Structure 1
Amino acid sequence: MSRLVAFGQALIRRPLAWPEETRALAAGAEVVFCNLEGCVAPPGATRMKTKTVHPAPAEALAALADLGVTHLSIANNHVWDYGHPGILATRDAARAAGFAVAGAGRDAAEAARPAIRAGVALVAADCGPTPDWAIAGEGPGVNPLRVRRRLVLPGPDLARLIAIARATGEAQRAARRVAIGYDAAPQGPSFYGLALAEGDGPREEHTVEPADLDRLAAAIEGARREADRVLVSLHHHHWAPDWTLPPGWLEDVCTRILGLGADLVAAHGPPVAYGLVDGAAGGVAALGLGNLAFHTARAERYAREGLDVFAGAALVVDGAGSRLAPVAVAR
């Protein structure tokens, strides 16, 4: 069995030197994966946010190539920092640099298409939250695996929120937007855009958009016909209240993806690392690989919160099996 190493996310804003331990992990691997947490912005592109924007310089792709990265996911919340031009420029630049790139494209078909090299197919999806305009359809965007959130409440609490929405006019405003066609009709009650349900709450529930899961299943099925192994990359920002723990919905989603035929799942988004989950058919999912490189302006704030964002993980797969290895994050 060939050696595969899956790293987490690479947020690169300036030249860097890879720690020797990181180079040693990648050395000799036929396949090295990571998620590019940034956007190669074309000249004149307009930033779509007022904060947390991550333009990736030319050195970012060169640094990843120098490490030996072969497969690159661009399905994340920063590839669209500079709008549709940034999405396309990032994909084009990464492909021109020689990477097998997946997760965003000129339309939904291109964004969902597996990238195959060395017998390994990469399928990449963004679990959001993501604005509608940044999701691939007839035009450019990321490949979505949308995770929907709703709040489950006991009957009296649910009735109280519904009454508040009516009293403030929010319910009427929402109904008018649906009637005109601005918004899709909700599947049940909601409160200022948050879906509600009655049950043994209060608690949150997360569900995956069925059409997105079907698209992912089709991509995995197609990839299995052309590759020896299928790696699925998931990026998300539906974090648990305690950032040192994986969110409750993630293990179920990863297990379902392994059941669809994926051999490996690499999840990232939170800047910390989590553990592994084994699938019934022998696949394995890394619930969070944390960071590979992290050029952040918030290092002191993370430290104050007790979050070690400079201790990532790598999923290593070789003849000895699957395991997590610690990663010294490049700063």
Structure 2
Amino acid sequence: MRLGLLVLILGLAGCSATPAVPSPAPSSIAPPASPAAPPSAPAPVDLRLTFAGDVHFMDRTAALLKNPATAFGPIAPTLADADLTIVNLETAITSRGEPEPKTYHFRTTPAAIDALKAAGIDAVSIANNHTLDYGRAGLLDTLDALSAASYPAFGAGRNADQAYAPWITTVRGVRIAVLGFSQVNELASSWAPGPDRPGVAMAFDTTRAVAAVTAARRQADLVIVFNHWGDEASSCANSAQKNFAGKLAAAGADVIVGAHAHTLQGSGWLGSTFVAYGMANFLWYGTSKSTETGVLRLTVRGRSVVDTEFLPAVVSDTGQPKLLTGPAATRLSQRYASLRTCTDLSPAPSGSPAQTP
């Protein structure tokens, strides 16, 4: 009996004891972190682009090639002080070929390329009415000389695809496409390129020219077109220039520059596209319609020209361009600004460039 009572008491005591509850284990899951801030967009790059007009080495300017390093004279540092500098090389680089049926014929030696490099000029347009002065043999020699020197040129090629193709370069992270077209009637049909025929990219094949700019727009951040156009001795852009500029702007050109008229033509904006119709002669072999010339400096941010500067100059007795100073510089700067009145261009941009596809 006592034994049973003892068992009962012990059993009741065991049932009334509070069972031990294990403490919860520390959580291994960290509290949710705050969303990471999106990476900041890179600051836009301001590029300085420099343009000048027609260059060739004949007569008095041929003599300058005795020392290519100084051929452009004191203006060279101004040309070199840019992220990208472009001019029109209005000559064949050849000793072969027969003169084409035209009045003026220009050709030079590969030393011209050394002079261009020494002056800080980064590339040249060869879309003009003198590139084939000595026929297709002369053009092929020109292309060979440029290739051998690893020197960029655009606006002509061994066939139509090459002639209308842009030169593409990357400058400070900005991908730039540059194209060239000639709108000079003389021998245009016989100088046009074909599928297997060397030639110059012609503005008269407007469909192909516009398609080339449209394609370049898809490949580059910035699209530049350098045209050879206009009426000689006229400081006003003609209707063909204005019409073609409008088509190029609509196709996506951000900057359009030109030469050929032997005199300055005005500049301004066509919507959001900056157009400088004529940069005149620059390194010039003899007398001409005008000795007025200059260097055009553009500051480009994204696809927009945000600042322009015209540096007035004159073609000197040596054929070299020389910057003007003092009252002479003021007078030419004012005259250049006044040339806008016959361009149908605006003094400021309107609208925004279309987004690159």
Query: What is the CA–CA distance in structure 1 between the aligned matches of 2:91 and 2:127, rounded to whole Å?
Result: 10
Q: Which residue of 2 aligns with 1:196?
A: none
How many Å apart are 1:23 and its aligned residue?
2.2
Contact 2:299 2:307 in 1 (8 A): yes
Residue 230, structure 1, aligned to residue 223, structure 2: yes
Contact 1:69 1:99 in 2 (8 A): no
Contact 2:50 2:295 in 1 (8 A): yes
Residue 122, structure 1, aligned to residue 178, structure 2: yes
Give the structure-1-normalised TM-score.
0.71
1:199-223 alpha-carbon deviations (Å, 9 max, x no partner): xxxxxxxxxxxxx222122221222
In the TM superposition, 1:205-284 aligns within 5 A as: 212-236=205-229, 238-239=230-231, 243-280=234-271, 282-284=272-274
Structure 2: unaligned runs, 5 residues or longer: 1-45, 65-70, 301-305, 320-357
Q: Which residue of 2 aligns with 1:10?
A: 55
Match of 1:285 among 261, 275, 289: 275
How many Å apart are 1:328 and its aligned residue?
3.5
Match of 2:86 among 16, 33, 51: 33
How many Å apart are 1:95 and its aligned residue?
3.0
How many Å apart are 1:126 and its aligned residue?
1.0
Higher relative contact order (CA 8 A, sep 6+): 1
Query: What is the CA–CA distance in structure 2 between the aligned matches of 1:286 and 1:264, rounded to whole Å?
Result: 8
Q: Which residue of 2 aligns with 1:60?
A: 112
1:288 alignment partner, SS class: strand
Counterpart residue identity of residue 227, structure 1: A
Query: What is the CA–CA distance in structure 2 between the aligned matches of 1:278 and 1:255, rounded to whole Å?
Result: 11
Match of 1:94 among 146, 151, 155: 146
Contact 1:31 1:120 in 2 (8 A): no
Match of 1:321 among 282, 301, 307: 307
CA RMSD of aligned residues (A): 2.0
In the TM superposition, 1:72-83 aligns within 5 A as: 72-83=124-135
Query: What is the CA–CA distance in structure 1 between the aligned matches of 2:280 and 2:104, rounded to whole Å?
Result: 18
Identity of aligned residues (%): 26
Structure 1: unaligned runs, 5 residues or longer: 147-211
Query: What is the CA–CA distance in structure 2 between the aligned matches of 1:106 and 1:42, rounded to whole Å?
Result: 18
Q: Which residue of 1 aligns with 2:198?
A: 140
Counterpart residue identity of residue 91, structure 1: L
Counterpart residue identity of residue 18, structure 1: F
1:2 alignment partner, SS class: strand
1:165-223 alpha-carbon deviations (Å, 9 max, x no partner): xxxxxxxxxxxxxxxxxxxxxxxxxxxxxxxxxxxxxxxxxxxxxxx222122221222
Alpha-carbon spacing, 1:39–1:3, altered in 2? closer, same or farther (3 Å) = same
Contact 2:113 2:151 in 1 (8 A): no
Counterpart residue identity of residue 279, structure 2: L
Pick the structure with greater CA Rg: 2
Contact 1:15 1:59 in 2 (8 A): no
Query: What is the CA–CA distance in structure 1 between the aligned matches of 2:270 and 2:94, rounded to whole Å?
Result: 38
Give the structure-2-normalised TM-score.
0.66
Query: What is the CA–CA distance in structure 2 between the aligned matches of 1:227 and 1:77, rounded to whole Å?
Result: 28
Query: What is the CA–CA distance in structure 2 between the aligned matches of 1:289 and 1:109, rounded to whole Å?
Result: 28
Q: Which residue of 2 aligns with 1:294?
A: 284
How many Å apart are 1:50 and its aligned residue?
5.8
How many Å apart are 1:246 and its aligned residue?
2.8
Of 270-279 and 248-257, deviating more is 248-257
Counterpart residue identity of residue 268, structure 1: A
How many Å apart are 1:51 and its aligned residue?
3.3
